[in-house]
Structure 1
Amino acid sequence: MKDSKHRDDHWLVRPKTIRLLWLAFSVVLTLTVLAQLVISIKGYVGVDSWFGFGAAFGFLSCVAMVLFAKLLGKVLKRREDYYREGADDV
């Protein structure tokens, strides 16, 4: 009866589905990187022809975007009552 509490949840938030999606995406990523062994990549700069460069570049770009978004969130953050301060004056 462990899964009975998750039975009413949307199928994308169930733990079993999340594990299955992680496995499927990992397999697809691995196959995509391994395809570079069969398909020759012609690099334009030199570095971009290295094995697994696309996957590494994509991952590092994603990490950079997340860190930038976190920094931007800290810079643009306002107090919780920011919009209520002037409401009494009107």
Structure 2
Amino acid sequence: MKTEKQYLFDNPKNIKRVLHGLYICCALLVVLDFVINRKVYHSWENLWAFYPIYGFVGCVVLVFVARWMRVLLMRDEDYYDPPESTEVSESSEGDKHVRD
């Protein structure tokens, strides 16, 4: 009888453990934000939750820039297909050759 190899995240309990660990880390960082005296360079860095908001806005800007770049850089679906004018023939060996 052949059994498949079990990976770490195949077990739902392990996924829940990782998520709980991340939640605990996030809660610890929020608590430490009130305890640790940070050295700030600008006054707006003293605002509560400045860095999470800054990160969220940065991600949203990246998504919009990526959408704009997709419109600018996107190619047609058949961009890499050979042009219609070429003929493809098969030799006796089964290899395909392109004729111009």
TM-score, length-normalised on structure 2? 0.58
Structure richer in strand, relative to its length:
2
How high is the sequence identity, in percent, across the aligned residues?
24
What is the aligned residue count?
Answer: 83
> Whose RCO is larger (CA < 8 A, sep 6+)?
1
Instruction: Flag structure 1 segments of 5+ consecutive residues without an equivalent.
Output: 1-6
Counterpart-to-counterpart distance in 1, 2:60 and 2:5:
34
Which structure's residues are more often helix, by fraction?
A: 1
Aligned residues: CA RMSD: 2.8
Structure 2: tracts of 5 or more residues without a match: 87-99
Equivalent residues in 2 for 1:8-47, closer than 5 Å: 10-12=7-9, 14=10, 16=12, 17-47=14-44
TM (norm. structure 1) is 0.62
Q: How far apart, CA to CA, are the structure 1 residues paired with 2:11 and 2:59?
A: 24
